[in-house]
Amino acid sequence: MRNRAAFTLVELLVVIAIIGGLVGLLLPAVQSAREASRRSHCGNNLRQVGIAMHSHLDSRRRFPAGYLADTGAAGRDADTFDAPPGTGWGLAIAPWLEEAATESAYSAAQGVAAAANRAVVSRRLGTFLCPSATGPRDPFAALDSAGAAHASGATLGRSDYVANAGHEDPWDGPPRADWHGLANGPLFRNSRVRPADVTDGLSRTVFVGEHSQSLCQKTWAGVVPGAFSHPAPTFRMSAGPERAAALVLSHSGPAATEPGVIHAPNDPASHCDQMFSEHPAGANVLFGDGSARLVAAAVDRGIWAAACSIAGGETSPAP
């Protein structure tokens, strides 16, 4: 009889254990590399948005408004003075994001909530979606305060990015036709900000940042008067719905009614009108000079608030 060379059962188990250990060591590194790639992709999205905003500036001599509304219209929303057209900053810069056809198909005279614009404002635009975000990607129906479908029947394309309105949230206070003087960020309702207005410096002022759809619904298209942005079921214990402006805008705090409260990116309070990212290290943010940087969730709150105003006179460095 001849002896045949072969693995014993013990040897086989040892080899399997070694392979399993190596895989266990390798997987975190692979996942980390994938997340780094997704985070880089997200940052590149924001840089494209920054280029588009500066192209808008070159063409129109000002940055886009957070959104547009005829606040003096007879049919304005009684609680906020929101009114058509509701055109958002994302739709305003669409021509410089290779989406000229989207803008040309949109009827600004009828506005975001109009049935005639439904096919346009519900489009999925990849530039406004962060690859790390786990929230829904399909268009969403605009909702009322109770979470039911809004009377307009509007359906909106999603965005993982929101614009910075400054410290305050004018959409939650008594209705005001003019937000100038209260909204001290670069993009808010009917804003007309020029570089000269940003005396704190474009490289030190936040313009746009992340807000994952896993927390609340956001859109690139604009605002439906009377609609609300609602938190996902997993966040309903942390925060309630926010009025229509929060579909496209965020604020940092401190609010006038809550002195000292600052909503930095990824704040665990999980408000629908704050910036919120699913990157483990923090959130990507676009500054006024077109640069995109990662802001750590543990950023100093005072520095963050300083970076969210355009003319506060703060001497803090950019976060």
Q: Where are the domains of the chain?
A: 9-307
Q: How confident is the model at residue 171 (pLDDT cuts 50, 70, 90)?
A: very high
Segment 13-70, tens digit of pLDDT: 888 888 888 777 766 766 677 888 999 999 999 999 999 999 999 999 999 999 999 9
pTM summary value: 0.90
Confidence (pLDDT) at 118: 96
Of 119 and 28, the structure prediction assigns the larger pLDDT to: 119
- Average model confidence (pLDDT) across the chain: 92
Segment 177-225, tens digit of pLDDT: 999 989 999 999 999 999 999 999 999 999 999 999 999 999 999 999 9
Contact 282, 266 (CB under 8 A): yes
For the chain, strand residue ranges (E) read 67-69, 85-88, 140-141, 155-156, 161-164, 206-210, 228-229, 242-243, 249-250, 282-287, 292-296
For strands 161-164 and 206-210, give the pairing.
antiparallel
Task: Examine the pLDDT at 173 and tell me if it is beyond 60.
Answer: yes
CB under 8 Å, gap of 24 or more: what pairs does 142-146 form? 142/113, 142/224, 142/227, 143/217, 143/227, 143/228, 143/229, 143/230, 143/241, 144/226, 144/227, 144/228, 145/228, 145/241
Segment 224-244, tens digit of pLDDT: 999 999 999 888 777 789 999
Q: Name the 3-class secondary structure at 186.
A: coil
Confidence (pLDDT) at 22: 77
Task: Examine the pLDDT at 1 and tell me if it is beyond 60.
Answer: no
Confidence (pLDDT) at 261: 84
